[in-house]
Amino acid sequence: MKALLIYPEWPDTYWSFKHALPFEGKKSAFPPLGLMTIAPLLPKHWEKRLVDTNIRKLTEADLKWADIALFSGMLVQKRPMLEMLARCRRRGLKTVVGGPITSSVEDMANHADHIVIGEGEELVAQLAADIEAGKAKPVYRALALPTLDKTPLPDISLVNPKYYSGMAIQYSRGCPFNCEFCDIIEIYGRVPRTKTPEQVTAELDLLYDAKWRGSVFIVDDNFIGNKRKVKELLPALTEWNRQRGNPFTFFTEASVNLADDTQLLQMMKDAHFTRVFLGIETPVESSLKQAQKMQNTRRSLLESVRRIRQYGMEVMAGFIVGFDNDPEDVFDRQVEFIEESAIPLAMVGLLQAVPGTQLYRRLMKEGRILHEGYGDNMDFRLNFIPTMNPERLVEGYRSILERIYGAEAYYQRVRRFLADYHPVHHKQRRFCDYVAFCRSLFKQGVVSRDRAAYWKFVIDAATRYRQSFDVAMTLAVMGYHFQTLTRIACESD
């Protein structure tokens, strides 16, 4: 049996980094870890080929080679996935779809021969056996959340690391919080499940043996969901890195209460974490309470960001507008918070009511759902009826993007960040290398319409922030992606 594993292309969003990757000579931010993890669960005698369409196109030769095509992806990847599913089915090629998208899209069974709902550790072996026997069912649904000691090592041989900006591993699934708009707790549960330190270091061994050096993204939706377990892992990461001369830096996603635990912050610093993504969402406390994001209330969010930064970690953050309790001045308040916090990479999006979430169910009961949505929170097409005038909401959102990613505003925010940022003691291995720097000088310093602001920033980075010059130029390159995408979005109808 020849199994073709297919990963759909990411749309052009803040998370894709498509406009920054060419500076580094890369094609995608991270490899498709889900498919790489599922592959070892398939029978050993099956031949496997992985096509990441962010790296190359799916060809007719691929389809001719395969006996079955297996897809994984998220709601935001629905459109390209449906197009490729249709190609497969026109050829008579059997198709299987798994991943988060099957929990979000109710009609996915209409587009594939077989769908897998839930985590695959306890489903894939039976699915494969049924396929070989010619009696596979249309739907396979996980009845329980598996422990992660059953999760195999990802098959890194299926990808070529040189095409990716970073590698990825997973430590845990699930989150203890109860945010109304979040589908993570619906899919993976509210009791975080973790791998053992030995499992994690074995995955790092795979990356190291594959000659990878650089950044590793721990893809957990909340890395610190189980703080006790994380504190057991971090010393193992620190020692593994130390013994090999610190080949990896790490970054991840965490809840804001990370700032409350200085021991944990120090342990992450020792393990060489250099960046963390926080879901800040909004400085409007009434909106946080309505969204059930209580972990962000009763605290100074600004102080939380500063404390994390004191431990050598840059803060990226997500922000949302469109909550029912958002006041008319929410757009100004978001901009003021982003500027005051000096968060260079602020991912601001419109609220999406994602199928399967508490928010979606509530708005459905209230008769406010328009359609299932697209999974892209930069899409101006709202999928629900907001309490604020929709045109006012979209125009206010557009104004946030224009204000925080205008070149002068962005570079000034990076300057404030650099003034407060103290790189940790280890060597920085970041997005920007010599080739990327030269490309940046040409594309941003010669071709770009924002070249005047860029050159002022480069001069400041080389004189005032020399200890963080690599970080500064990395943020300049990443800023190009945000500025380009913001310009495209704001000029669209």
Q: What is the pLDDT of residues 348-367, one digit of tens each?
A: 999 999 999 999 999 999 99
Please determine, for residue 426, whether its predicted confidence score (pLDDT) is greater than 60.
no
Q: How confident is the model at residue 106 (pLDDT cuts 50, 70, 90)?
A: confident
Q: What's residue 62's pLDDT? A: 98
For 205-211, which contacts have Cβ atoms below 8 Å and span 24 or more sequence positions? Answer: 206/153, 206/154, 206/156, 207/156, 207/161, 207/167, 207/169, 207/248, 208/244, 208/247, 208/248, 210/156, 210/161, 211/161
Q: What's residue 431's pLDDT? A: 44
Please determine, for residue 424, whether its predicted confidence score (pLDDT) is greater than 80.
no
Q: What's residue 118's pLDDT? A: 95
Q: What's residue 104's pLDDT? A: 86
Please tell me the distance from the alpha carbon of residue 458 to that of residue 466, in angstroms, as a whole number.
Answer: 10
- DSSP conformation class of 444: I
pTM, full prediction: 0.95
Q: How confident is the model at residue 144 (pLDDT cuts 50, 70, 90)?
A: very high
- pLDDT average, residue stretch 228-253: 97
> What CATH code is assigned to 2-141?
3.40.50.280
Q: What is the mean pLDDT of the chain?
A: 95
The gap between the terminal CA atoms of the chain, to the nearest Å, is 47
- pLDDT average, residue stretch 400-408: 96
Q: What's residue 493's pLDDT? A: 65
Q: What CATH architecture applies to the domain 166-404?
A: Alpha-Beta Barrel (3.20)
Q: Of 412, 403, 404, 402, which Cα lies nearest the Cα of 456?
A: 412
Q: What's residue 359's pLDDT? A: 98
Query: pLDDT tens digits for 294-318?
Result: 999 999 999 999 999 999 999 999 9
Q: How confident is the model at residue 150 (pLDDT cuts 50, 70, 90)?
A: confident
- pLDDT average, residue stretch 35-57: 98
- pLDDT average, residue stretch 53-71: 98
